[in-house]
């Protein structure tokens, strides 16, 4: 199989778009197997010219700057990395030339792949499936949007290797193949800065199942109305399985006591576990569905679920200081995720939120906050300030504080939050207006919380 992948790159004029983690992975794979072919690397960032990987390569052309996406039609193969947006690019002449690490993996290893996407929950679900497989002594890799480039491990794949691949909309946008097993956790309005509208975003996500055949399986959360309606319109030929609450016509469902899969009781909700909230019950139902499909040992699967610890920046307990408990939920970049966090924790007295305005509709979120039990709303730029102004207009009884920095927000939270309650930092917006990403924002929050005043 490796020979076929290498053949994808032979005798072609190749450009790699983006030289971050995945771009470097693609470059190193090509160079390992095709040492002397000419390559072009394009990236907006001029600093890549100083990268040690490239400085000693006489057969690489580096193009940077604002017009780095010009003249793509000159290439035979365009290896696009996820961070590159074609939002304002006419792809009519180049669509058939666009590929990626994910596209190549799907083309040659489809039957090994369990693919996971969704607006929220995909990293937790992917990681949980991986832990369940490992606990069942399966050879497996966790790859993709979780932060692990596919080509870093592509040479280690054996016929029986299971590949758990987290897939973002950016990765799925131009694929022409789908995995043998696909999971969609949910679909909400997001990434409007990367696409030409919410429908484009949804359609990119649905590519995870669009090219499946009758031997393949799609599992999805039926309780997400947007997702359910879109799947019904796709006319998929694959085996479609759904999960939901309290509805026995689904492949997996749960009541107040147990989770059932294929009409069999498989998980006791009284089990001690670290994943809290209904949104995580959905993730667990999806994972138990996979366990059942693969005929895994249910006891071992449940053991892995119970021992699983939440990923960093996802309702992450920072600690209790001066009788106030702080949670970091920096991954919550849309309103629905923030609402899920508030509902899961239950005793939130202070919410710190706000970030980059990407055109998401916040009407339902404003209504939720106005009626919630959260007393203190600490609002950061830019969306936080806009939401604060709307809340003030409706004369809500909340304590509303407008701040300019995360440092100000934390200082205010330490002062106003009632003892024996929770302060939650959950942006409901993207973090990269003032931070590089949600990880940087979450780490800054944790550091500020632990600092003594």
Provide the domain count of the chain.
Answer: 3
Domain identity same for 110 and 76: no
**What is the rounded CA–CA span in Å between residue 99 and residue 338?**
34
**Domain with 118 in it: what CATH number?**
3.40.1190.10
How many C-beta atoms surround the C-beta of residue 4 within 10 A? Answer: 10
pLDDT per residue over 205-233, tens digit each?
A: 999 999 999 999 999 999 999 999 999 99
Shared domain check, 191 and 249? yes
**How far apart are alpha carbons 50 and 43 in whole angstroms?**
13
CATH code of the domain in which 9 resides: 3.40.50.720
Of all residues in the chain, what percent carry a pLDDT higher than 90? 90
pLDDT average, residue stretch 277-303? 97
Residue that terminates a domain, selected from 307, 327, 355: 307
Res 194: pLDDT: 55
How far lies 248's CA from each of 240, 254, 402, in Å?
15, 8, 46
Residue 327 sits in a domain whose CATH number is 3.90.190.20
Q: Which residues of 238-277 are buried (b: 16+ CB within 10 A; e: fewer)?
A: bbbbbbbbeeeebbbbbeeeebbbeeeebbeeeeebebeb
Question: For tokens 């990681």, what's the residue?
Answer: 127
End-to-end, the C-alpha distance of the chain in Å comes to 59
Res. 80: pLDDT tops 80: yes
Residue 150 or 311, more confident: 150
Last residue of a domain, one of 280, 307, 334: 307
Over residues 150-206, the pLDDT tens digits come to 999 999 999 999 999 999 999 999 999 999 999 999 999 875 555 567 899 999 999
DSSP three-state, residue 326 = strand
Residues 110 and 123 in one domain: yes
Q: Is the pTM of this model over 0.85?
A: yes
- 291 shares a domain with 204: yes
Does one domain contain both 223 and 144? yes
pLDDT tens-place string over residues 2-48: 999 999 999 999 999 999 999 999 999 999 999 999 999 999 999 99
Indicate if 174 and 201 belong to the same structural domain: yes
Q: Apex CA 342: angle with CA 339 and CA 348, to 5°?
A: 145
Q: Which of 289, 307, 325 is the last residue of a domain?
A: 307
Residue 448 has pLDDT above 60, yes or no: yes
Whether residues 247 and 129 fall in one domain: yes
Condensed to tens digits (0 to 9), the pLDDT of residues 89-144 reads: 889 999 999 999 999 999 999 999 999 999 999 999 999 999 999 999 999 999 99
Question: Domain residues for 175?
Answer: 102-307
pLDDT for the residue numbered 325 = 97
Distance CA 424, CA 215 (A): 44
Residues 287 and 321 in one domain: no
Per-residue model confidence as pLDDT tens digits over 337-367: 999 999 999 999 999 999 999 888 999 999 9
């Amino acid at each position: 199989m490796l020979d076929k992948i290498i053949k994808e790159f032979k005798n072609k004029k190749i450009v790699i778009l983006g030289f971050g983690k995945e771009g470097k992975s693609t470059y190193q794979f090509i160079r390992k197997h095709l040492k002397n072919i000419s390559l072009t690397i394009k990236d907006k960032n001029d600093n890549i010219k100083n990268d040690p990987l490239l400085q000693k390569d006489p057969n690489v052309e580096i193009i940077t700057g604002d017009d780095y996406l010009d003249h793509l039609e000159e290439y035979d193969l365009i290896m696009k990395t996820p961070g590159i947006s074609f939002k304002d690019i006419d792809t009519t002449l180049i669509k058939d030339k666009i590929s990626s690490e994910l596209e190549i993996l799907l083309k040659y290893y489809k039957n090994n792949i369990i693919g996971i996407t969704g607006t929220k929950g995909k990293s937790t679900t992917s990681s949980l499936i991986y832990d369940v497989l490992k606990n069942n002594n399966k050879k497996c890799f966790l790859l993709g949007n979780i932060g692990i480039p596919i080509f870093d491990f592509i040479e280690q794949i054996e016929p029986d290797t299971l590949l758990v691949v987290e897939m973002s909309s950016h990765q799925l946008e131009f694929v022409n193949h789908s995995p043998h097993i696909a999971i969609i956790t949910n679909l909400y309005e997001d990434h409007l800065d990367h696409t030409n509208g919410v429908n484009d975003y949804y359609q990119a996500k649905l590519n995870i199942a669009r090219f499946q055949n009758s031997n393949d399986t799609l599992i999805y959360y039926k309780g997400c109305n947007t997702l359910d309606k879109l799947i019904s319109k796709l006319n998929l030929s694959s085996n479609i399985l759904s999960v939901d609450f309290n509805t026995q016509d689904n492949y997996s469902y749960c009541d107040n006591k147990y989770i059932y899969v294929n009409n069999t009781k498989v998980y006791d909700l009284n089990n001690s576990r670290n994943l809290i909230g209904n949104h995580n019950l959905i993730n667990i139902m999806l994972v138990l569905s996979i366990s059942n499909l693969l005929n895994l040992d249910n006891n071992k699967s449940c053991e892995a679920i119970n021992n699983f610890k939440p990923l960093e920046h996802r309702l992450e307990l920072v600690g209790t200081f001066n009788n106030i408990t702080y949670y970091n939920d920096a991954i919550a970049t849309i309103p629905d995720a923030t609402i899920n966090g508030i509902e899961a924790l239950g005793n939130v007295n202070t919410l710190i939120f706000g970030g980059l305005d990407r055109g998401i509709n916040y009407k339902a979120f404003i209504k939720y906050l106005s009626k919630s039990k959260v007393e203190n709303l600490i609002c950061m730029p830019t969306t936080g300030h806009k939401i604060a102004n709307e809340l003030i207009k409706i004369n809500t009884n909340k304590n509303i504080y407008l701040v300019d920095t995360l440092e100000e927000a934390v200082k205010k939270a330490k002062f106003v939050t009632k003892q024996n309650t929770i302060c939650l930092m959950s942006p409901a917006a993207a973090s990269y207006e003032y931070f590089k990403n949600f990880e940087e924002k979450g780490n800054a929050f944790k550091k500020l919380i632990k600092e003594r005043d």
